[in-house]
Structures are given as C-alpha cells and as structure tokens.
Chains A and B, each alone.
Chain A
Amino acid sequence: MGLKVPYVTSYLTEHFADDALGTIEGYEAKGGYAAARKVLRESTPESVIETMKASGLQGRGGAGFVTGLKWSFMPKGTEKPKYFCVNADESEPGSFKDRLLLERAPHKMLEGILIGAFAIGAEKTFIYIRGEYAYPAKQVQRAIDEAYAKGYLGRNVFGTGFSHDVVLHRGAGAYICGEETGLLESLEGRKGQPRKKPPFPAEYGAFGMPTTVNNVETFCHVPHILANGPDWFRGFGTEKSPGTTIFGVSGHVARPGLYELPLGTRLDEIIFEHAGGVPGGRKVKGVIPGGMSMPILPAGQLDVPMANEFLRERKTMLGTGGVMVMDETTCMVRASSIISYFFRDESCGQCTQCREGTGWIHKIVSRIERGSGSVDDLDLLLDICGKMEGQTICAFADAAAWPIQGMLRHFREDFELHLKHQKCPFPESFEL
C-alpha cells in the first residue's frame, strides 16, 4: 500500500524512492534532523522566525499565508502553554500530496515541527490526521515513537533543555475539520464546527491556549529552509511565491500522480510535459488547478504560471495544487453536480447561507443535469453564490460558491445545452 513516489522530485521529495527514509535511521542517513539540532543548539526563536519571514514560504494548505508571519503572531511572554497543530486533514478533492509526506517522510515533518515549536515556544504539537488515513497514521505514529526513543521528542531534546511533545490525533470523516478552527473544535472532542473570529487561534486556540495551525507540507519545507537559508529557498519558484510544491495531477491524463515542481511552473507544462497529456488523442476541455474549491480554467487558459499572483488574475487560486484535468468528453454540468453535492454534504451547517445555499445549489444543478432546468436557473445560481460569498464564519461558503461561479464563467454553454435539450448532450461523458 501507499502512494507511488513523485514522477518529478526536488529537495522536498528527493530520496522518496528509498523506503528507509520513513525510518529515523534512514532519515538521518540523508541528513535528517541536522537542521533541527543546529537550530535548537545555536539559534534563537526570534532568528528562526526572521529566517522564515525572509524565506517568504507561504502555507501549503490552500490559504497561502506567509508562514513566518503567522508564527510571529504567537504571543510572547505569556504564562499560557502554546500549541502547534499540524493540519493533516487533507480532504480537498484532488489533493493527495500530504498523504505522500505522511507515509514516506514523517520524520521530515517532525523535524519541521521541532524547529517551529522552538521558534514559537510551543510545548506540544497535535497532529490532526484525517480518520481515513489509517495507513499514513501508522507511519506517523511509528516515527513519533522512534523520535521519542532517540530523545528527539519529549524532555530535553538534543540535550538542549527544550522539551516538546507530539500527539497524533485521528479525525473521523469531515472535510470541515480541515478548516483551522474546525480542526481545533474537533481536536477538543466536539463537532468540527468552525469558530467565529475574533478571537483568533493565536489568542484562543486549542483548549483555549495560543495555537498556530500549519499544513503538513509547510512543516516539511522548514528544515530545508533552515539548513540552506532563505536565499537558497528563494532560488526556487517566483519572487512572490518561492519554493517548490507537490502538484497532484488527476483525471484525464496519461500519467496521473505527484510532481514536485517550483511554484510558477506553467499549468500546460505540468499537464502535457510531465503528466503526459490527455490519452486517446483527446483534447483538454477544462482544468481545476488547485483542488476542487478553486474555479476551473478553460483549455485556452492553461498557459498560466502556477502561483497565486498569476492565478488570481484568472479568477482562481493555487489552493492545494490539486490539478484535475477534464477532457472534451466531460459534461461540466455533471462535474458541477458532483462538486455541489460535495459541498452540500460537507457543510457543517452553522451559517444560514452555507447550510441552505449549498443545498439549494445542489438541488438546482442536479435538476438541470436531469433535464428539468430553465433559463432563469443559471442567474439564480450566480445570485445564490453571491449571497454566500464572504459573509460566513469560515471560507467554506466561498469554497462552495467559487467552483460554480467558475463553471458558469467558462462553461455556461454546457448548462445551456442541458436546458435546451432537456437532457445531457454529452453521451461520452463519465457516468453519474
């Protein structure tokens, strides 16, 4: 079991072909834990945060917030215990990169956690891993046990007097637990319903204590940045979006899989050069660039560099880099039906607009897909999206609205054909 190694690797996933990398011996043989040892023995928390800020690393969980800045929000000089949470809830459809890191390089994540914990003064890290990732969770627990056994976790790490504990916590099947404060609620033994803000997690987080939540991949970049310096890191990617990321390509491509590439790599390069293009000689119809929450791009816009500063101009975002390729046989109304079902299923149900809006959108799209739609339904869908966006406790409602807006922006014709013919006009499209 377990994910295949990436087809293209860089600093993050080199050596991933070596199964031993998941063990502490294998990891250390490749230079693992050297950066953390050096930082804990020789650096100061402030300098680590400065390094992280200088590197410009953006969180790799989808929001893209500058990690060093996030870490600097943690209060200094407080009596309260501080916590890290690793967001290993990876449930964004199209994303499976964190799974790779959890299965094959859990020690890299732990090393990043150690460095970060030192920087923000955290005494404990909770790794929140989605419940369905049973095998990755086993690998992570094994790595944690190995690290404790060797004194790399627990009291007096590396003999430096710094202590840190790591607890693995399994989720139980709810996408909304990938939202920062939904995760905290779930960690506390409640329903994963996101919290209203203020207060923010740096002030009131896990169990009411100052907390920072970061994505798995984000932590994995940290040892490399500290080992090689921010300038080295900025040698990859773009000026505004430095570093590499692991793109996950799926759908109608010849070589679906993981590709570690610098941010700013063009989308068409990823699809055609690396992932082998669309099999069967078919053409691309549309591509979702960053996980299913991100608006779709049509075939004519695949020249976009995969970094937020460029994707935003095309009214979409990098998200988690989950590239979903759909070829010319694909009915976008069917795709929208699956997308809208997902958001209806996963809405936590607190906010009026999200709870009712996701349901309404799904009902309308399904009805159009079945052939009972009418012309006013399309503007109604956009209007509902407008009523959901930007007005809820968390960004789930935005994530639910954007894909529909994207579909109607670029594939309105698919919808209109459904209305005109009162059935799906794409006989070769995947089955629903």
Chain B
Amino acid sequence: MVITPEMRSRIEAAMEKYPQKRGALLPALHIVHEAVGHVTPETARELATLFDLRPPDVMEVVHFYNMFYDRPQGRHHVYVCTNLPCSLRGARSLVRALEAHLGIEAGETTKDGRITLGHEECLGACAYAPMMRVDDEYHEDLDVEEAKRILDGLE
C-alpha cells in the first residue's frame, strides 16, 4: 500500500468538503506527491478504489497537470519561469547557467537525485524577473550567482 492510513484520513477529510467525493482528487494527488513524489500505476489503482473511479480516470488526471508526475522526480523541484516577461530579463540565460552548474539539461534530474531542473510557464512574478520556484518557495529578482547559491544549499 502506498497510501498510508494517515494519508487516507487526510484524503477522506478533504472529500467531506465537496458535494461529490471526486472533487477531492486533486487534493489527494497533492497529498500523494507530498509524501512520495509521484504516482505509480499501483498508487493510481489505490486512488481509483478510494474514489470509486477506474484507474485510467486517475491516470489521465496525472498526465494532464504539470505538477503531477508518473515517474520519480528529484528531491527538489527547481523550475525557472521562461515565459515572455522573464525571458525579456534573462531567464533563459539563467537556465543555461544552472544547467551548466548542475551538469544536467532542463527536464532532467541530477544523478544524486537531489534536483530536477525545468522550465515553467508564468508563475506570477513578472515584475521580479528572472525568478525560480524551488518546491513551494519563490526566489525572485535573481542573478546567476544567487541562484547557484540557492541550489547549492539544497540537500
């Protein structure tokens, strides 16, 4: 079982808030990702049972959203916004610098499993570009050196 009793009771608490329990599927997927980082077919089957859905119904939701994954990710998500306002202020050069610093390309994970680096669409920080999201935190008004320092501080 991937879904622990503790996760299950949190999911069931979320279900109470919606007129149909399926409304709690996104909250449930967030809970799963917080705990184990991605959704395997086994997890999808467990969720399907919990929600009275079929496994493909769960899997198609996983595949639709950027923040849900069907394969293991690094311990830390590092996503640099490379949409237009950020690119105007050097976001793409920042990505290239971080790729070089980590020795991976955007979309990949470092060999030690520490960091997954990626591009992301507009994160709502356009005036403070370039910026990146590290897990739940925004780091704004970045320069390359500061960005590297932040990455080096991740375990």
Contact = CB atoms under 8 A, between A and B. Distances in A.
Interface string B18-44: 111011111101100000000000000
Given A131-B65, A132-B120, A324-B126, A209 B138 contact: no
Nearest to A251: B88
A207 B19 contact: yes
A189 B129 contact: no
Give chain B's interface residue range (CB within 8 Å of chain A).
35 or more
Contact of A95 (B96, B124, B129): B124
Contact of B137 (A4, A135, A173, A257): A135
A91 B26 contact: no
B121 A345 contact: yes
A209 B18 CA distance: 12
B90 interface: yes
With most chain A CB atoms within 10 A of its CB, the pick from B121, B126, B129 is B126
Given A188-B20, A430-B87, A430-B90, A172 B124 contact: no
With most chain A CB atoms within 10 A of its CB, the pick from B25, B92, B122, B137 is B122
A132 B128 contact: no
A191 B61 contact: yes
B112 interface: no
Given A175-B121, A191-B60, A256 B128 contact: yes
Interface string B125-139: 111110001001110
A186 interface: yes
Interface string B62-85: 001111100000000000001111
A133 B30 CA distance: 13
With most chain B CB atoms within 10 A of its CB, the pick from A4, A188, A206, A330 is A188
A326 interface: yes
Contacts of A206: 19
B144 interface: no
Interface string A299-331: 000000000000000000000001010100010
Given A94-B85, A258-B127, A189 B121 contact: no
B85 A93 contact: yes
Interface string A85-108: 000001111111011000000000
A338 interface: yes
Contacts of A330: 88
B89 interface: yes
Interface residues of A, number: 60
A149 interface: no
B1 to A, nearest CB: 21
Contacts of A95: 122, 124, 126
Interface string B99-140: 000000000000000000000111111111100010011100
Nearest to A291: B122
B84 to A, nearest CB: 5
A24 interface: no
B23 to A, nearest CB: 5
Contacts of B9: none
Given A91-B124, A174-B65, A209 B19 contact: yes
Contacts of A99: 124-125
Interface stretch (A163-171, A220-228, A414-422): A163-171
Contacts of A292: 83-84, 122
With most chain B CB atoms within 10 A of its CB, the pick from A131, A172, A258 is A172
A188 B22 CA distance: 6
A431 interface: yes
B35 to A, nearest CB: 15
Contacts of B60: 191
Contact of B122 (A1, A94, A187, A252): A94
B121 A133 contact: no
B93 interface: yes
A73 B12 CA distance: 34
B26 A93 contact: no
Given A93-B126, A131-B65, A175-B121, A189 B26 contact: yes
5 contacts: A94-B85, A99-B124, A189-B26, A324-B88, A345-B121
Interface of B: 17-20, 22-27, 29-30, 51, 60-61, 64-68, 82-85, 87-90, 92-93, 96, 120-129, 133, 136-138
A-B pairs, top 7 by smallest CB distance, nearest first, are A173-B66, A189-B25, A256-B127, A250-B126, A172-B65, A134-B136, A93-B122
Given A131-B67, A342-B83, 15 more contacts: A3-B125, A3-B128, A4-B128, A96-B125, A99-B125, A132-B123, A169-B26, A171-B26, A172-B26, A192-B64, A324-B84, A324-B126, A338-B82, A342-B122, A345-B121
